[in-house]
Structure 1
Amino acid sequence: MLMVEGGKISASQLGLLFYAVAAYDGILFIPRITGEEAGRDLWLSPIWAHLIGLLFVLAMLWLSRMFPTETIIQYSRRILGSWLGKAAGLTVIIYGVNLTSVVLREYGDFISVVFLQKTPAVVAIGGMLLLVSFAVRGGVEVLGRLAQLFLPITFLVFGLLVVLSVPDWDVNRILPIMGKGIAPSAKGAIIPLSWFSGYLMLGLYFPFVSDQRKTTRYVIITWFGLMVTLSVSGLVSVLLFGKHAHTLNYPFIEVVRYIGVGEFFQHIDALMLAVWLLGTFVQLTSYLYTASLGVAQWLGLKQYRALVFPIGFFILAISMWGPSSVDVFETYLGTSQVVFDFFYVALGLLLFVTAWIRVKILQN
């Protein structure tokens, strides 16, 4: 077995990394994209998505425990054979490249539209990618420590922002709950469900976890924490803006801007920017690490660090090559990107089902 990463992370650090994969994008986008179908029930959609998505999480955990010393790039060849396994590994690499470019573009659009309207998106994206690349070159231990350092701060700030918004809540705005039945909120759960493709990366990080027996516990805690975070961000948006919450570009940002505490504590949206920047930074390191380590193992190289900057430059070009309009890009996120994400989910399920069948055959 070729192992190109010598570092280790704890199970709790792994959980934090996977929290970052979906939480910070979700806070910004979930209220809008689920609200188009779910209306005032948009806060229920993340709950349905997580209840169904738990099955995929458990499947990826089972695969990781079956091959505790190998990454998904390596064990896919054992499961599917040499050629199909190579193709599956390449798909995981494409996943890392694709998601890094998408999140970078989301970051650039958000910064340009909400905070730095006169700053070219390429400047914001390029600066962030440079910092992310240096972090990824530091190895998986650096990623784990960054998550452990930054994310608890974001939890506290997010909780504070929710509490500060309480005086402006109007419970009547969420009523009637499921007035049109469960169907609207269930339809709204489709896009959040596709984001469970992120758990495909369990197969890449698991071999580097020092206390693997605790992994299931922390991954389930992460799953529950994500469900609560995304549901609460949607619920607060509806409590303030009612059924019109999804018509706003970034509903939770508008929630934060609505908050004012006295005459001296204004512009609290800067706190939300800090939360989102820290979380997005950790998220980007996870995806770029997936792409870089995946390429190194797929090619049989002894180390991945020399690949980080070339892959990063390629990703920068892809992120800027997409649609120039924010609205068009958001349409892409709600259509084509959802298809891609479900394809990655299908790949994970294919690996799980094939491995499970082989185990049953061997047992019999």
Structure 2
Amino acid sequence: MQSSGKISGYQLSLLFFTFIVSTLILSVPGIMVAFAKQNAWLSILPASLTGIVNIYVLTALSRRYPGQSIMQYTAVICGKWGGKLVGVFFTYYLFFFISSTVNEHARFLNNVLLMNTPSLVLIITLLLLCGLAVLAGVETIGRCNEIIVLIVVMLLLPIFIFSIRDADPARLFPVLAEGLVPVIKGSVVPSAWMSQFFFLGWFLPHLNEKPQQVRKKLLTALCGIVLLIMAIDALTIMVFGPITPRMNFAFLNVIKYTDIIGPLERLEAIAIMIWILGIFIKVAMLLYMLCISATQLFGANNYRKTVVPITVLSAVGSVWIFKNAAGFQIWITFTYPILALFMQSLLPCLLLAIDTIKAKLVSH
């Protein structure tokens, strides 16, 4: 398969920071508060365990099979036909994932900015830009993201600074009044996002350093995600308190509530900019992984030949997948965490366990 360039461990860690944070900061805080109430800001700590496990598991597998993606070494571990079957699951999962993400993007913009714009226009526009990025290669996506992360951080800082005056720290108390059970319940949904380090399986082959050397950088990115979500959850609770679970985009409402006298009084434009920049990187990464998976599944030698048909197929899937916002909300609250537990956490652990057992049997 034709190479699409190399990226550094620093670029890879920033890519996954954006990949996870882009949809997590707007969609999930309200769900976390619904389960954990005023202690929702603590729920991200147990949720991060899935991210830690996946970082270690995927880098361990990549070290054993250097230069191979998870699609390729799955065929080695599970055998030809078993590997093909798992590869089909991976490919369909990526197709479902990109369809739901683009669908969410269109609904978000329809709700907050472009009410009269057909969702199909928003879907095609995003996928067209992401398709061009995928054609340019993973190195281009990594370099774009370095600039995007800097912009996002610079946009988030004034939001935190100007929102503090409307925050009431008393709403964060009492801490752990009902024990750890609500905190654990609140961690279930964000744990699905944290386990998205599973997608390292497609990007580690493009790393220009050894997988074990990038672990610290990936763990640093994970720590950055945890601190950011803790800050967003705490700020949202301090501003809105118990009414937070009633909001679909809780952090967006914090930004709307923040009032600055002068030309910056409409701060929701910042939230929309953060969303668009982040979702561009996330969808580009997903589209790249889907093209790689299809190429390796069918034995082609150049993933770029699949970009156009897969982009068109993704647009169809994005229109078809969810008919309304209620269906999407039920999916991310109840269905996706279960699906992510199996596909993003248990399956890579199972691959590592099978490979370890096979290696021990061969050595004996």
1:79 is aligned with what amino acid?
Answer: I
The CA deviation string for residues 250-282 of structure 1, in whole angstroms up to 9 with x for no partner, is: 110011111122233210111111111101100
Alignment of 1:226-245 (within 5 A): 226-245=225-244
Q: Report runs of 4+ in structure 1 exceeding 6 Å deviation.
A: none
1:201 correspondence with 2:189: no
Alignment of 1:1-364 (within 5 A): 3-212=1-210, 214-344=213-343, 345-364=345-364
- Say if 1:30 and 1:234, in contact at 8 Å, map to a contact too: no
- Say if 2:35 and 2:183, in contact at 8 Å, map to a contact too: yes
The CA deviation string for residues 175-228 of structure 1, in whole angstroms up to 9 with x for no partner, is: 111111111110111111122442222121111111235311211111111111
The CA deviation string for residues 24-69 of structure 1, in whole angstroms up to 9 with x for no partner, is: 1110111112122111211111111003431232111211111121
- Say if 2:100 and 2:321, in contact at 8 Å, map to a contact too: no
1:117 is aligned with what amino acid?
Answer: M
Gaps of 5+ in 1: none
1:255 is aligned with what amino acid?
Answer: V
Using the TM superposition, give the Cα deviation of residue 361 of structure 1 relative to its aligned residue in structure 2, in angstroms.
Answer: 3.5
Using the TM superposition, give the Cα deviation of residue 327 of structure 1 relative to its aligned residue in structure 2, in angstroms.
Answer: 1.8
Q: Determine helix, strand or coil for the equivalent of 1:265.
A: coil
For 1:131 and 1:195, locate their aligned partners in 2 and report how far apart those are by CA, in whole Å: 24
The CA deviation string for residues 138-165 of structure 1, in whole angstroms up to 9 with x for no partner, is: 1111111111121121122112211221
2:25 is aligned with what amino acid?
Answer: I
Q: Determine helix, strand or coil for the equivalent of 1:179.
A: coil
For 2:35 and 2:287, locate their aligned partners in 1 and report how far apart those are by CA, in whole Å: 32
Q: Determine helix, strand or coil for the equivalent of 2:170.
A: helix
Q: Determine helix, strand or coil for the equivalent of 1:266.
A: coil
Q: Determine helix, strand or coil for the equivalent of 2:62.
A: helix
- Say if 2:103 and 2:318, in contact at 8 Å, map to a contact too: yes
For 1:6 and 1:277, locate their aligned partners in 2 and report how far apart those are by CA, in whole Å: 24
Q: Determine helix, strand or coil for the equivalent of 2:261.
A: coil
- Say if 1:88 and 1:347, in contact at 8 Å, map to a contact too: no
1:194 is aligned with what amino acid?
Answer: A
Q: Determine helix, strand or coil for the equivalent of 1:189.
A: helix
1:27 is aligned with what amino acid?
Answer: I
For 1:17 and 1:179, locate their aligned partners in 2 and report how far apart those are by CA, in whole Å: 37
Using the TM superposition, give the Cα deviation of residue 72 of structure 1 relative to its aligned residue in structure 2, in angstroms.
Answer: 0.7
234-243 or 90-99: bigger deviation: 90-99
Number of aligned residue pairs? 362
For 2:351 and 2:119, locate their aligned partners in 1 and report how far apart those are by CA, in whole Å: 38
For 1:278 and 1:118, locate their aligned partners in 2 and report how far apart those are by CA, in whole Å: 22
Q: Determine helix, strand or coil for the equivalent of 2:214.
A: helix
1:320 is aligned with what amino acid?
Answer: V
For 1:363 and 1:45, locate their aligned partners in 2 and report how far apart those are by CA, in whole Å: 43
For 2:324 and 2:204, locate their aligned partners in 1 and report how far apart those are by CA, in whole Å: 38
For 1:136 and 1:16, locate their aligned partners in 2 and report how far apart those are by CA, in whole Å: 17
For 1:360 and 1:196, locate their aligned partners in 2 and report how far apart those are by CA, in whole Å: 31
CA gap of 1:334–1:59, structure 2 versus 1, over 3 A, is same
- Say if 1:95 and 1:291, in contact at 8 Å, map to a contact too: no
Using the TM superposition, give the Cα deviation of residue 6 of structure 1 relative to its aligned residue in structure 2, in angstroms.
Answer: 4.1
- Say if 1:37 and 1:188, in contact at 8 Å, map to a contact too: yes
The CA deviation string for residues 5-39 of structure 1, in whole angstroms up to 9 with x for no partner, is: 24111111111111122101110111112122111
- Say if 1:133 and 1:288, in contact at 8 Å, map to a contact too: yes
